[in-house]
Structure 1
Amino acid sequence: MAAHGSKKVIYAALAGNTLIAITKFGAAFYTGSSAMLSEGIHSLVDTGNQGLLLYGIRRSGRPADKKHPFGYGAELYFWAFVVALLIFAVGSGLSLYEGIHKVLHPEPIGNPLINFIVLGLAFCFEGWAWYVALQEFRNTKGQRSYFRAVAESKDPTVFTVLFEDSAAMLGLIVAAVGIGIAYFAQIPWMDGAASIVIGVILGVTAFLLAFETKSLLIGEAAANETEVEITKIVATHPAVTTINELRTLHRGPHEILLAISLDFRNDMIVGQLENVIADLEQHIRERVPQVHRIYIEAQSHKDHLEVEQKLDGDV
């Protein structure tokens, strides 16, 4: 996914959540609803999260320097992980605290009309932001299932917003049910119970996001299709006899580091070998533009196997 596509999704969510947070807090203070207060906290956290993702995109675009020779692309993964922690610590934690407090000390809520109006408007705004995120995600998932596309995605911004908005819409439904039962059935503690359920939803969302971004932080290889394409380019070159090893690493959503060990024909002189390596790099960059840095090692297949065996023995 292009960077501008990611930003479009985040800006849409940021605009919607800012307006929603203000109206939710106003309704919560006016009616005294615990579920509405939790929803306000939820939207406020989401607003801050979108700001962090935009900050991460800007920071990750900085050029490489002496201290960070491979660039700052992976910084986006760090800020996406921070977002997951904030959803858990602030969003889920405060919602659970407020809900438990209201269950233990229930208070009747006022006229819920304002709450229902705010929830309805919030559902429309969240639905719009969710639809924008879903469309962007569909553009990249191809024929893969949604679960597989999330697991294999290298861009955490879109699936983070998609997860957040999905949790938000589910939370709005829970809040409306809790408020309705608390007021019309005269069971005031149900308002607090709805807040607890919202906290659980946020906790599960945070866990899923943390799990996915952790893998990106540790370092994921390029997609199988990308590695297959690189292998075809290299294997079909007449000067290459054997691909000893091919390793890829995502340093950002659209930035791949490639390290490859090749066994070349033995009849080539140094100048010819240099030309072959330059030719390989050019073809790889043309057909796989995500590959920013390429390191090609010339090594006999026999020597490579000996080194691998030694490394395996040391382990």
Structure 2
Amino acid sequence: MSASQEGKGGNLVLYAALAANMGIAVAKFVAAGITGSSAMLTEGFHSVVDSANQVLLLYGRKRSEQPADDLHPLGYGRELYFWSFVVAILIFAVGAGFSVYEGVLHISEPEEMRDPTINYVVLAVSLALEGSSWFVARREFVAAQGDLSWWQAVRRSKDPTTFIVLFEDSAAIVGLLLAGFGVAISHATGDARWDGVASIAIGVVLGLVAIVLARESKDLLIGERANPALIAAVRASVDGRSEVVRVVKVTTVHLAPEIVFLGMDVDFDDTVAVGRVEALIAEVETDLRRDWPVLAAIYIKPVSS
């Protein structure tokens, strides 16, 4: 999949999730206001947070596409990773925090639940919308997954938008099921505290998801190496030149999902004239950029092994 295709796929995932969450949030708040359900109110704020997250990820993706300038000579690619980390913090602080707070408040001061029929209708519609968003995110994730397990794919992914939305949607579906459980048990037993328990459970789920996303976003923000297969291919390409004794060291860092910094320490044959080494480095850089357009910044240093 090309960089442009992955970018379009990532945007499609975000727009699909944003549209679903905005509609769901309105429906949940209406249901919570009519029935007095704590779990539904929690789910409403959950959808608001998710909507804000998609806006931030779209903003981060747009900012990351800015060209390099004097202030940022390697470009703005890591803006996407920064906003992905902010999203993880928002899920934890706002989503999980509010859910637990609302649950504890509803347990200590239970509010009698009124007719829950509208809750069930909203939950069913929300599951359908979240499911459609989840399907889009899952399709894009599988396209990039290849032969890797899902966890390996998450760990190796350099584009956080797809797996963040996939995790968000998965957490949302689990939250909807928990909310439905809380509403049903509260209605069946006449004990509204079960609704609060469901809110706390939703908060725990969001907190766990936020921790995983924060960890992955942190690693990308600090800087992760390129795919080992790419590193091996680049090394072999340069090693194969007759003027090169060996490639001593290869350093790569992802600056964005499709922007990689490459640094190489290369031992050139001592019989190669100094002037020729300069021209040879330029030739190597041109060939590498042609064969791997992802290599946006290349620095080759002649060394003696």
- State whether TM-score is above 0.5: yes
Query: Of 84, 88, 112, which aligns to 2:88?
Result: 84
How many angstroms does 1:272 deviate by?
1.9
1:151-166 equivalent positions in 2, closer than 5 A? 151-166=155-170
Query: Of 16, 21, 38, which aligns to 1:12?
Result: 16
Write the deviation string for residues 266-303 of structure 1: whole angstroms up to 9, x where unpaired: 111233212321221122112222110100001111xx
Moved more, 76-85 or 223-232: 223-232
Task: Tell whether 2:63 aligns with 1:59.
Answer: yes
2:154 alignment partner in structure 1: 150
Contact 1:108/1:183, CA 8 A, preserved across alignment: no
What is the distance in 2 between the residues matched to 1:274 and 1:259? 16
Query: Of 236, 248, 257, which aligns to 2:261?
Result: 257
How many angstroms does 1:236 deviate by?
0.8
**TM-score when normalising by structure 2:** 0.97
Query: Of 49, 52, 75, which aligns to 2:53?
Result: 49
Query: Of 107, 116, 125, which aligns to 2:129?
Result: 125
How many angstroms does 1:229 deviate by?
1.1
Q: Report SS of the residue matched to 2:261.
A: strand
Q: Report SS of the residue matched to 2:297.
A: strand
Q: Report SS of the residue matched to 2:296.
A: strand
What is the distance in 1 between the residues matched to 2:233 and 2:191? 62
Q: Report SS of the residue matched to 1:300.
A: coil
Q: Report SS of the residue matched to 1:144.
A: coil
2:192 alignment partner in structure 1: 188
Q: Report SS of the residue matched to 2:224.
A: coil
Q: Report SS of the residue matched to 2:248.
A: strand
Write the deviation string for residues 200-254 of structure 1: whole angstroms up to 9, x where unpaired: 0110110000000000111101011111111111111111101111100000111
Moved more, 281-290 or 60-69: 281-290
Task: Tell whether 2:187 aligns with 1:175.
Answer: no
1:205-220 equivalent positions in 2, closer than 5 A? 205-220=209-224
How many angstroms does 1:87 deviate by?
0.4
What is the distance in 1 between the residues matched to 2:50 and 2:93? 13
Give the gaps of 5 or more residues in structure 2: none
2:249 alignment partner in structure 1: 245
1:309 alignment partner in structure 2: none
Give the gaps of 5 or more residues in structure 1: 302-315
What is the distance in 1 between the residues matched to 2:86 and 2:95? 13
Task: Tell whether 2:269 aligns with 1:269.
Answer: no
Write the deviation string for residues 134-171 of structure 1: whole angstroms up to 9, x where unpaired: 00001111000000000111001110000000000000
How many angstroms does 1:115 deviate by?
0.3
Q: Report SS of the residue matched to 1:241.
A: strand
Aligned partner of 1:230: which letter? V
Q: Report SS of the residue matched to 1:50.
A: helix
Contact 1:233/1:283, CA 8 A, preserved across alignment: no
Write the deviation string for residues 53-99 of structure 1: whole angstroms up to 9, x where unpaired: 00001111111111111110011100000000000111111111000
What is the distance in 2 between the residues matched to 1:186 and 1:226? 61
Task: Tell whether 2:273 aligns with 1:299.
Answer: no
How many angstroms does 1:127 deviate by?
0.3
Q: Report SS of the residue matched to 2:54.
A: helix
Aligned partner of 1:231: which letter? R
Q: Report SS of the residue matched to 2:110.
A: coil
Q: Report SS of the residue matched to 1:266.
A: coil
RMSD, matched Cα: 0.9
Q: Report SS of the residue matched to 2:138.
A: helix
State the percentage of identical aligned residues: 47
Aligned partner of 2:51: which letter? T
Q: How many residues align?
A: 301
What is the distance in 1 between the residues matched to 2:267 and 2:73? 27
What is the distance in 1 between the residues matched to 2:234 and 2:167? 32
Q: Report SS of the residue matched to 1:70.
A: coil
What is the distance in 2 between the residues matched to 1:174 and 1:270? 70
Task: Tell whether 2:225 aligns with 1:225.
Answer: no
What is the distance in 2 between the residues matched to 1:18 and 1:286? 43
Contact 1:254/1:290, CA 8 A, preserved across alignment: yes
Aligned partner of 1:263: which letter? D
Query: Of 86, 96, 99, which aligns to 2:100?
Result: 96
